[in-house]
Structure 1
């Protein structure tokens, strides 16, 4: 067994480089074709006449959204108060939706939590338990589910950057240096998500310029770690300076 492991360690690295180089050009041509196709694709009307089941832990938040959806042409909208972190609530809103409409065609799972702070600010680690591995776990789960289901159900995984929401504004407020990053509006993100899901995309990253950072993380992890450490250090200096000015 040890000999096989050594053989694989020696042989697979150069073999993988050969395979990557041989697939790279056709794959890039395919990606460019898809990109150009999407650029010239007719922009469909956002008023698609979908019937909607709106779910939120705070029911009062949904009233305005439901009225807006109806004004845009949705023939039927129901609102359901539920906590998606509770399994029984998830089962309940799915059952209510199916019972009301007869079926469920598209599920948008966009619940999220966050607490912008560094490790040094933790006073009780249990406070962060709900967030531990949440994004990575969700992505890995849906990637595995997509492999198992094949083409039976289309799954689009969305990885947004800083969005102009309460959570996004909190991050900017806590880390002042983040103000240099332009915030994408929630409506722009929602429109991109609808278009991407209708196209059957596997992934969507918005704003799209964020994707240019991915190859650096893959190919130069040490450089990225060093850059992030410098970024965090600069952010702390700015925050400390802002705090001192307020005290004065």
Structure 2
């Protein structure tokens, strides 16, 4: 996302909770055309961190035009395999509150610039695939919250919601996911997805769905959910469960070694 904005000449505030990631991204973005970049180490699940990086952006540039809520983590686990359900609040802390917090602090500045907000949700918010219960719940919360916000902030701020499928990223390249995903489902490159997202937010689109063929599955889910239930139960869930079981065995063996 940062690189696509850089190619269009945008000045950037890039935020990551791992400080060592930032210099390389900043250097590449400058090479692609960004005239000015500030780097902020922050955790979006911490309210004070979110206020700080919004304040730093406005202090440095004097304004804020776009807010890209791109932080997220995955959670892949059948509910019956969970031994401690209290281990999962961080999924909601990052995927939901990690978008709400910066948005809250950015709104006054975006109103002044008639700016734009991008919220990254997921096709999982609409299709509810197995083993992704907590992840799907967090992305459903994102979709619902920002749909509500769109009505409240119009016309001064434009809100674009991204419903993304499987994108070639660190998230989908987790061993247990990649064994199934890359075999069963076409995976979109992160560059192409980012291009579509940046173009969509600049045009002020209400939704951006990538890859676009997921829209056909949305129709199937809405009109004939039994078909999706059959596909999940007979095809996707058995393969995901097998991959997760294999990953668990591999981890156990490594720890034993």
TM-score, L = length of structure 2: 0.72
- Give the match for residue 194 of structure 1: 198
Cα 1:156/1:235, change in 2 over 3 Å: same
Larger radius of gyration: 1
1:118 is matched with: 78
- 2:207 and 2:5 map into 1 onto residues whose CA distance is 22
The answer as to whether partners of 2:176 and 2:243 remain within 8 angstroms in 1 is no
CA 242–90 in structure 1, closer or farther in 2 if over 3 Å, else same: closer
What are the within-5 Å matches in structure 2 for residues 91-130 of structure 1?
91-130=51-90
Partner Cα distance (1:231, 1:159) in 2: 23
Q: 1:45 to 1:118 in 2, by over 3 A?
A: closer
Q: CA deviation at 1:173?
A: 2.8
More strand per residue: 1 or 2? 2
Change (3 A) 1:237 1:96: closer
Q: Which residue of 2 aligns with 1:180?
A: 184
Equivalent in the alignment of 2:212: 208
Q: How far did residue 86 of structure 1 move?
A: 0.6
The answer to whether structure 1 residue 57 and structure 2 residue 49 are counterparts is no
| Structure with higher RCO (Cα < 8 A, 6+ apart) | 2
Q: Is the 8 A contact 1:158 1:204 kept in 2?
A: yes
C-alpha distance in structure 1 between counterparts of 2:213 and 2:42, whole Å: 35
SS state of the match for residue 141, structure 1? Answer: helix
Q: Which runs of 5 or more residues in structure 2 are unaligned? A: 92-133
1:201-222 CA-partner distances (Å, limit 9, x unpaired): 1001111111110011111122
Q: Offset of 1:237 from its aligned partner?
A: 7.6
1:117-156 deviation line (CA, Å, top 9, x unaligned): 2112212111122334311111111100101111211111
Question: What is the number of residues matched between the two proteins?
Answer: 201
Aligned counterpart, 2:103: none
Kindly indicate whether the alpha-carbon contact (under 8 Å) linking 1:161 and 1:206 is maintained by their aligned counterparts in 2: yes
Deviations 1:154-193 (A, max 9, x none): 11101111111111111x6347332221221211111111
- Equivalence for 2:104: none
Contact preservation (8 Å) 2:78, 2:241: no
1-structure distance, mates of 2:229, 2:43:
36
RMSD (Å) for aligned C-alpha atoms: 2.5
- C-alpha displacement at 1:238, in angstroms? 5.5
Q: Are the equivalent residues in 1 in contact too, given 2:160–2:206 (CA < 8 A)?
A: yes
Runs of 4+ in structure 1 off by over 4 angstroms are 240-243
Number of the residue aligned with 1:74: 34
